[in-house]
């Protein structure tokens, strides 16, 4: 008898995390074309853009327009990254299916990314989290720097667990563990997940691996062994955080699909369409 594994869910973050760091301004139509193509691939969650200070992340300044122009397919959750009440109010006008809130497990990265301490970032989130509930908008959470910080080096796993517990208090349906720098070793990732599991059950966790050291697939393997079944990826392996020096692309969707499908996990995602989308995403970057 064949062993049947639980399915793996891929959360496509390419249109946001993949594109946010691109120096060349990518045209609105190209972003819309990419998301519309991704929407035909079987993906069930797509992060469309972010509502952050456009002086800090100019590439995401047109996220409202992107939302208004994409063709939204039933059964797909289209989400937006939101840092504060201002961002929530902008996002709400686009009727996202979900918003993603984001915090850091390291103080220095929190300051660089959000101009706030970790506690201040929680305060900001508490200003709009009840509105999301009232407005029936689901909330996903990110923790950045779950193993390493670009400014502080290794991050204690217990710090990550504390932030995860707080995101759970904020009613996040899913909490994505971000190896922002892509420096986490499989051992460090395993230890971090072990600590986090003291606070939440594995069903609410997702892995978000950038691929600096080429260790993302090994870290996904460790996460799979721990029971995590949701991974954030970006078509074409685009991406990086503008406020994490040295942060490279997210692990590529096509790479993760091949890897998990090869291990026998179903994803419901069509590889051919993802390959087309990866080409489209890579071509968009050329000046
Ligand atoms: P601040 O400077 O403390 O905010 O920034 P402020 O309230 O003092 O406002 C400063 C200016 O920003 C004002 O404009 C506000 O109107 C404007 P000005 O008067 O200078 O013209 N502003 C906004 N504009 C648009 N949308 C908003 C907004 N809020 C204020 N929502 C703030 C605080 C959070 C806004 C800023 O630090 C920021 O935008 N940070 C976001 C940075 C970011 O997007 N980083 C990348 C995404 S996170 C990531 O990639 C990691 C992740 O992938 C996981 C992982 O890999 O680890 C998620
Ligand atoms: Mg990221």
- CB-ligand 1 contact for 86 (6 Å cutoff): yes
Q: Whose C-alpha lies nearest to ligand 1, atom 22? A: 53
Beta-bridge mates of residue 141: 101, 175
| pLDDT < 70: residue spans in the chain | 1-5, 246-247, 286-287
- CB-ligand 1 contact for 208 (6 Å cutoff): yes
pLDDT value of residue 231? 98
Q: Whose C-alpha lies nearest to ligand 1, atom 16? A: 53
Q: What is the pLDDT of residues 103-152, one digit of tens each?
A: 999 999 999 999 999 999 999 999 999 999 999 999 999 999 999 999 99
Residue 2 alpha carbon to ligand 2 centre in Å: 35
Looking at residue 18, the DSSP 8-state letter turns out to be: I
Residue 180 alpha carbon to ligand 2 centre in Å: 5
Residue 167 alpha carbon to ligand 1 centre in Å: 19
pLDDT value of residue 4? 57
Residue 34 alpha carbon to ligand 2 centre in Å: 19
Quote the CA–CA distance of 53 and 65 in Å, as a whole number: 16
Residue 284 alpha carbon to ligand 2 centre in Å: 19
Quote the CA–CA distance of 233 and 238 in Å, as a whole number: 9
Is the backbone of residue 265 left (phi > 0), alpha (psi -120 to 50) or beta? beta
Quote the CA–CA distance of 98 and 152 in Å, as a whole number: 31
- CB-ligand 1 contact for 127 (6 Å cutoff): no
Q: Whose C-alpha lies nearest to ligand 1, atom 15? A: 53
- CB-ligand 1 contact for 96 (6 Å cutoff): no
pLDDT value of residue 79? 98
Residues with CB under 5 A from ligand 2 (ion): 17
Active site annotation includes 149: no
pLDDT value of residue 2? 53
Q: Whose C-alpha lies nearest to ligand 1, atom 45? A: 113
Cβ atoms of 206 and 174 within 8 Å: the answer is yes
pLDDT value of residue 287? 46
- CB-ligand 1 contact for 88 (6 Å cutoff): no
> Rounded to the nearest 10 degrees, how much is the dihedral formed by the CA atoms of 127, 128, 130, 136?
180
- CB-ligand 1 contact for 239 (6 Å cutoff): no
pLDDT value of residue 3? 54
């Amino acid at each position: 008898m064949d062993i049947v594994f639980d399915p793996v869910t891929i959360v496509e973050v390419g249109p946001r995390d993949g594109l946010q760091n691109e120096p060349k301004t990518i045209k609105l139509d190209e972003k819309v074309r990419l998301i519309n193509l991704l929407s035909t691939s079987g993906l069930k969650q797509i992060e469309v853009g972010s509502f952050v200070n456009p002086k800090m992340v100019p590439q995401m300044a047109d996220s409202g327009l992107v939302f208004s122009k994409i063709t939204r397919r039933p059964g797909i959750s289209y989400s937006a990254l939101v840092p504060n009440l201002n961002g929530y109010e902008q996002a709400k006008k686009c009727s996202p299916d979900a918003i993603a809130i984001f915090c850091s497990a390291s103080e220095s990265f929190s300051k660089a990314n959000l101009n706030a301490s970790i506690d201040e970032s929680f305060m900001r989130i508490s200003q709009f989290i009840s509105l999301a509930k009232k407005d029936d908008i689901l909330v996903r959470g990110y923790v950045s720097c779950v193993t390493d910080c670009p400014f502080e080096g290794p991050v204690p796993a217990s710090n990550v667990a504390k932030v995860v517990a707080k995101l759970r208090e904020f009613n996040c349906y899913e909490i994505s563990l971000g190896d922002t720098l892509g420096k986490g070793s499989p051992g460090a990732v395993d230890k971090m997940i072990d600590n986090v599991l003291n606070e939440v059950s594995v069903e609410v966790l997702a892995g978000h691996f950038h691929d600096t050291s080429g260790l993302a697939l090994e870290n996904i393997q460790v996460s799979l062994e721990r029971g995590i079944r949701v991974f954030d990826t970006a078509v074409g392996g685009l991406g990086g955080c503008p406020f994490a020096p040295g942060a490279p692309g997210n692990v590529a969707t096509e790479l993760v699909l091949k890897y998990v499908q090869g291990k026998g996990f179903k994803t419901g995602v069509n590889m051919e369409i993802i390959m087309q989308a990866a080409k489209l995403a890579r071509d968009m970057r050329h000046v």
